[in-house]
Structures are given as C-alpha cells and as structure tokens.
Amino acid sequence: MRIDRRTFVGTAAMAAAAGRMGWAAETGAPKLEIDEFGYGDVSLGAETLNEKQFRATQATLQGLDEDGLLKPFRVRAGMAAPGPDMGGWYDYVDPSDKTNGVGGAHGFCPGSTFGQWVSSFARTYAADRDPAVRAKLVRLLDMYGATITGKFYTNFRFPAYVYEKLNVGLLDAYRYADLPQAKELFARTAEAAGPHLPPRPLDRDEQKAWRISNGERSTEDFTWDESYTLPENLFLATRVGMGDYRSLAKRYLLDRTWFDPLSRNENVLDGHHAYSYCNSLNSGMQAYLDSGDTKYLRAVTNGFRMIREQSFATGGWGPQEGFDHAGGDKLYRSLTHTKASFETPCGSYAHFKVTRSLLRVTGDAAYGDSMERVMYNTILGALPLESDGTSFYYSDFGANGRKAYHNDKWPCCSGTIGQVTADYRVSTYFRDAKGVFVNLYVPSTLSFTTPDGVRGKMVQAGGYPLDGRVTLRMEMTRPSAFALRFRVPAFSKTTVVRVNGKAQPLTATRGWGTVSRRWQSGDQVELHFEMPARLEAIDARHPETVALVKGPLVLFAMGNELPALTRQDLLGVRPAGSGVWTVGKGVEMRTFCGIGRETYQTYLTVG
C-alpha cells in the first residue's frame, strides 16, 4: 500500500508536536516519550558488518599500551613517564619547539583521544559486562587521576577540546561502568581545566585576540579550539548525579552567533567547521532537555535541516570540513577540488547523536532514515583502525574517488570510531510506554520487558539493505500485549506486512508502521519494503550530476574511465551477485561497504 510520509518537521510542526506530547511551550524540563534501550539490551549478529567493525576497533584500542596512553599527561604533570610514545597527534612535544604539531603534525594534540577511548571501553563494558574491561577502566582512571593538574592545559593548543573528551570518558565510566571514582575525577578535571578556558564560547575568528591577551600563541591552529561543544556532557553529567555543572554548561552555549539565529531559521552555517558545529547541535539538544526552552529545539531542528540540505546522497556533509551558504554549490565544486568529502568517524558520531535525540523528541522516523543513510554509505565502509594509529578520516565522494588513510597517526577520528561503532546498539531499537520501535534493520536480538512486565526477546533477520526483506520473531516468557512499531523508510512507497504469514493492513504515523496484538513465542512479522532505484542530483543547479541510489544504498560506479551513461541506463540497474549490480553495458556498481582500494565514482554525469 502507498504510505504518505512526512519530511523533516519544521518549526511550526515542532511547536505543535510539543503541545501534543505535553511539553512546556517555553520552559520546564520536557518529558521524552521515546527512550533508548541500554547497550546490553541489544546484541548484533556476529556476522554483521556492524558487529565486526565494532569488535575489530575494540580489539585494536584495548590492545594499546596503558603507559603509552598516559604518557602525555604524565610528562606535562612533571612525572616519570614510562612506556612507548604513541606517535602522531597523541604525543607530547615541547611547546618551545616552534614546529610543535603545527597543522596536524607530530604532537598536534597530546592525549586528545584518551577520554574518547575510555568512553568506548565503558560502552563496551555496558554491552558485554566483561570484568576484564571494567578492570582496565579502573586502572586507566587510577593512572589518569594521578596526573590531573592545570599544567596540562597551560599554553596548550586545544584546552576545551581535550577537556570535553575527558568529560565524556569520565561520564561514561560513571554511568555505564558503575565506577563512582569517576565523579571525583570529573570534578578535579573541571578545576584543572577551568582557568584555561575562555570566559565564553568563542568562534574561531574570536579566539586569536583572547589567546594573545592571555600571553599565549596566536598561530592559526591555536584558534581552532571548540569550547562550544562543552555543554553537552556537562548537562549530561549533571543529569546523572555527578555534580551541578549547569552554570558551566550554560556559559558555553553558543547563542549569539549560532543558536539564536538558527532558532529564527537564519542559515548561518557558511564558514563554520562542519564536524564541531554539527556536534554543537548536541549541546543545544541537551540545553533543551535541561530547560525546556524551545529556542534550542527550534535551533537544532532548523540547523540539522540546513545540514541535510547541503549533504551528499550518501548522507555525508562538510567537504574540506566546512559548510556552505544556503543554495551554494560547494558540494558540486568539491567533486573536482578535494578528496576530503566527509570527516567520517567524527561526523557520523555527531550525526548519530543528533538524529537519535531528535527522533526521541519528535517521534519522527525521518531521523532514522537519515541515520541509516550515513551508516551504510559512510562509517560502515571505513577502513579499519590500525594499532599504530593509522586511521580512516575522510570519505572521498569526488571524481575518481578512493578510500585512503589519513596522513597523520591518531587523529581525532581514531577517537570517535570506538564510540560510534559501540553506538550501533543504542541506535537500532527504541521504546515507549506502549512497546518497542525498530529503527535500524540490522540482524540482531533485542531483550526487553513489556509494559505489563513480561520478559521477551525479538530476533531480527533478513536480507536488508541488499533487498527489502526483514523478519522479526518473538520469544516470550508468556503472552503479552504491546505495540510493535517499525520504521517505514521514506523510499518505500509500497510496504507489505505479514504476521504469521497473514497480510496485515498497514497504518503509518510519522513514518512508523504499527502492529498491536497479544504476542506469544513464535509469532513472526515479515516486512517487505520496496527498494526502488532513483537518481539524486548533487544540487538543484546541476541536475545532470547524479548519484544512483537503491533503497538506502548509494551505488558507486567502479573504475575511472566509464562509458557514457543515460538516466535510463542507471535506472535500469541489474543485480549481478551479492552487493554487486551492473548498469548500461556492464558497468559494475557496488556499495561503499563493498569497496576496497579500487577507484570509484559517486556521481555520474547524465544527459
């Protein structure tokens, strides 16, 4: 049957939704109607790309030398610092050395990813409850605690940046690994970092004068700090009982040049650093959840829509780590001017967080569609992190694209890849007072408790996204009535639903199909989504430059010298094996996850 899907909700619709769901119109902490499951409630199929990527990343990170991880902190604290140098961005380099890390070289950001790795270990422990992982966290926190000093942040390139990463690590150790000592370390870290933070959030163009006034360096990369991302974890730490950091969080909300104009639907993205400013939307979401001030909800909703309006067909955004103005053609120009199309682990981490929050607040499954697009066409196809810090950083969507590692060891994306791959679990399913939501179609098992207290499991299988088939099988301790909601992708104009083999009428609200019944063990839901081929232009000014999309997957043309192809050639795409298709006279098309080091084309020019 044909389903009428809404697009992303606008400001007026958001305000109406707030009223319907009982939130305060302007202030008062909002009540979320859709909640997350815990990391341990979801197990991903062992053969899924998601689980393999997560496990491989964790194996690499957990194998790193612990003394090496603490070395930059110990050196800057004036302590003995045994262990190997990590290399790349991570190492400490004497600040008197004028070549110290400039532009991303050796010593660019000492200790930068330590907090993110602690965060990923805590999320892994929450998923597996492995005592060895918890013991590792205890050791790392004990070692870090001995190094806390303001000396670490003195004449330091990115004090707010590293402080924010340490915050998320300690926060996650506290809330996911049950380590109460993280609370004290969080407070001590705030005390050490505080004197080295600016008095308010500063855009990059404002930081030079502040640095000079503090008697610090004024080279360009000393103006790249990201104090405007701090509020997210300060609000979260307050919410989970680590202390009251609300005033500090509110100090660093970037209202004047970011949230205020975005709340008025003014597009101010142009010129801003893509990842950090997208990530700052997560601070806006936490400000909204803390206060109920709908200015922040409007700002985040509008800002994310503006990012979507300048995204590649893959869901990635921010070529050369920058945004464009409304109606600009930066995406098109990037196809021939850069190989740095999308800062993939970092960008996908920010993207997953903001779409999860917006989905939970608005109830609109369109945010799940966006999450899915980014997952399959960017992060899930990233090259694996290597033990020497060799890291995948940019996805290349330009002409004659290739997957490649970053020039520098241990860049920022080596921190976020552990977090975003752990978060596949908490992005797959959601819940409310009436039942369960299936957001991502990944073979997996969900353990849940029904509204009337019955324990159950739901086992997901199927061929999605290579085809449109998904099955959901119930395993119940006893029968229980609840609602099962599943995301109906916007591309699926015809969706078939069967319960125990019998076709069911489908009603969809805000992109969710619903089957409500008294469920018992053995009940099975079969979903079949239409997976049409379609062409998506790079922008409105260049309708002849298109990507071929089938279901949620962008199909990439393999090779660098391709014959001329027409729209009809592309729309006539034919299967040629698992994860492989052909168009025209045998041009091979693959998914991003199916590409190794071969040359490929994301966009093609058609007549």
**99-113, 454-468, 593-607: lowest mean pLDDT where?**
99-113
**156-160, 177-181, 549-553: lowest mean pLDDT where?**
156-160
pLDDT at 21 over 80: no
At residue 109, the pLDDT reads 94
At residue 95, the pLDDT reads 65
Give mean pLDDT, residues 448-459: 96
b/e burial code for range 386-416 (CB count within 10 A of at least 16 → b): eeebbbbbbbbbbbebebebbebbbbbbbbb
* Strand (E) or helix (H) holding 248: helix 246-251
At residue 140, the pLDDT reads 98
Give, as one character, the DSSP assignment of residue 382.
P
At residue 218, the pLDDT reads 64
Distances in whole angstroms, Cα of residue 135 to Cα of each of 65, 178, 421: 15, 12, 22
pLDDT at 9 over 70: no
Give mean pLDDT, residues 279-289: 98
At residue 215, the pLDDT reads 75
Comparing CA positions, the residue from 188, 91, 80, 185 lying closest to residue 138 is: 185
At residue 456, the pLDDT reads 98
Longest dimension (CA), the chain: 74
Name the average pLDDT for the chain.
Answer: 93
Q: pLDDT confidence of 110, banded at 50, 70, 90? A: very high
> Token pair for residue 489?
């992708």
At residue 294, the pLDDT reads 96
Distance between CA atoms of residues 69 and 139, nearest Å: 12
Give mean pLDDT, residues 29-40: 88
pLDDT at 23 over 80: no
pLDDT at 364 over 90: yes
SS3 553: strand
The residue whose two tokens read 């070529």 is 319
At residue 32, the pLDDT reads 81
Give mean pLDDT, residues 60-88: 97
pLDDT at 414 over 90: yes
At residue 209, the pLDDT reads 81
Distance between CA atoms of residues 291 and 29, nearest Å: 5
Give mean pLDDT, residues 401-426: 97
Distances in whole angstroms, Cα of residue 248 to Cα of each of 243, 287, 555: 11, 12, 46
Give mean pLDDT, residues 287-307: 97
Q: Please give the angle made by the CA atoms of 194, 199 and 201, to the nearest 5 degrees.
A: 105
**Residues in CB range of 36: below 8 A, 6 or more apart:** 356, 360, 426, 430, 431
What is the percentage of the chain residues whose pLDDT exceeds 90? 87
Distance between CA atoms of residues 91 and 114, nearest Å: 11
At residue 219, the pLDDT reads 74
Distance between CA atoms of residues 604 and 544, nearest Å: 8
Q: pLDDT confidence of 45, banded at 50, 70, 90? A: very high
At residue 85, the pLDDT reads 96
At residue 104, the pLDDT reads 80
Total residue length of the chain: 607
Distance between CA atoms of residues 603 and 536, nearest Å: 9
Q: Is 543 exposed, middle or buried (0-12, 13-18, 19+ CB in 10 A)?
A: exposed
At residue 99, the pLDDT reads 63
Give mean pLDDT, residues 102-126: 94
Q: Is the dihedral of CA 504, 507, 510, 514 positive or negative?
A: negative
Give mean pLDDT, residues 535-560: 97
**273-282, 390-399, 431-440, 502-511: lowest mean pLDDT where?**
502-511
Pairing between strand 480-487 and 435-438? parallel
Q: Are 572 and 583 in contact (CB under 8 A)?
A: yes
* Strand (E) or helix (H) holding 580: strand 580-583
SS3 74: helix
At residue 93, the pLDDT reads 87
Q: How many CB atoms lie within 10 A of CB 158?
A: 21
pLDDT at 103 over 90: no
Q: Please give the angle made by the CA atoms of 485, 490 and 493, to the nearest 5 degrees.
A: 95
At residue 203, the pLDDT reads 84
Give mean pLDDT, residues 321-347: 97
Comparing CA positions, the residue from 370, 351, 293 lying closest to residue 18 is: 293
> Token pair for residue 167?
């915050």
Phi, psi at 276, each rounded to 5°: -70, -35
Give mean pLDDT, residues 6-27: 33
Give mean pLDDT, residues 11-19: 33
**135-144, 215-224, 467-476, 482-491: lowest mean pLDDT where?**
215-224
Q: pLDDT confidence of 13, banded at 50, 70, 90? A: very low
pLDDT at 102 over 90: no
At residue 213, the pLDDT reads 80
At residue 379, the pLDDT reads 98
Dump pLDDT digits (tens) for 228-258: 999 999 999 999 999 999 999 999 999 999 9
* Strand (E) or helix (H) holding 483: strand 480-487
Q: Please give the angle made by the CA atoms of 405, 407 and 409, to the nearest 5 degrees.
A: 90
* Strand (E) or helix (H) holding 285: helix 274-291
* Strand (E) or helix (H) holding 260: helix 260-263
* Strand (E) or helix (H) holding 115: helix 114-128
Distance between CA atoms of residues 236 and 172, nearest Å: 10
Dump pLDDT digits (tens) for 422-449: 999 999 999 999 999 999 999 999 999 9
pLDDT at 526 over 80: yes
